[in-house]
Structure 1
Amino acid sequence: MLLCFAVVGCAVSPTGDKLYITNISDNKVLTLARDGSVLATFTDRALHDPCDVHVTPAGQVLVCYKVSSHTIIQVDDKGRKKLATIATKKDGMVSPRSVCYNRHTASILVGLHDNNSILVFKVQ
Structure 2
Amino acid sequence: MLLCFAVYKCAVSPTGDRLYIISYFQHKLLTLARDGTLLATYTDPALAGLIGLHVTPAGQVLVCGHLSHTVLQVGWEGESKLATLATQEDGVRCPMSVCYSSTTSSIIVGQWRNDNILVFRVE
Alignment partner, residue 10 of structure 2: 10
Alignment partner, residue 40 of structure 1: 40
User: Which deviates more from structure 2 when the two are superposed, residues 111-120 or residues 75-84?
Assistant: 111-120
TM-score by length of 2: 0.93
Which ranges of structure 2 fall in alignment gaps of 5 or more residues? none
What is the DSSP-based 3-state SS (H/G/I as helix, E as strand, rest coil) of the residue aligned with 2:48?
Answer: coil
Alignment partner, residue 82 of structure 1: 81
Q: Distance in 2 between matches of 1:77 and 1:64?
A: 16
Q: Distance in 2 between matches of 1:47 and 1:113?
A: 16
Q: Distance in 1 between matches of 2:88 and 2:32?
A: 30
Which ranges of structure 1 fall in alignment gaps of 5 or more residues? none
Q: RMSD of aligned C-alpha atoms? A: 1.4
Q: Distance in 2 between matches of 1:108 and 1:52?
A: 12
Q: Distance in 2 between matches of 1:123 and 1:101?
A: 9
- 8 Å CA contact retained: 1:10, 1:52: no
Alignment partner, residue 22 of structure 2: 22
Residue by residue over 1:9-39, the C-alpha shift from the partner in whole angstroms, topping out at 9 and shown as x without a partner, is 1111110100111101111000011111111
Residue by residue over 1:62-89, the C-alpha shift from the partner in whole angstroms, topping out at 9 and shown as x without a partner, is 110012x100001100000111100000
- In the TM superposition, residue 5 of structure 1 has moved relative to its aligned partner by 5.2
What is the DSSP-based 3-state SS (H/G/I as helix, E as strand, rest coil) of the residue aligned with 1:90?
Answer: helix
- Which runs of at least 4 in structure 1 moved beyond 6 Å after TM superposition? none
Alignment partner, residue 100 of structure 1: 99
Residue by residue over 1:25-64, the C-alpha shift from the partner in whole angstroms, topping out at 9 and shown as x without a partner, is 1110000111111110000123210111111111111110
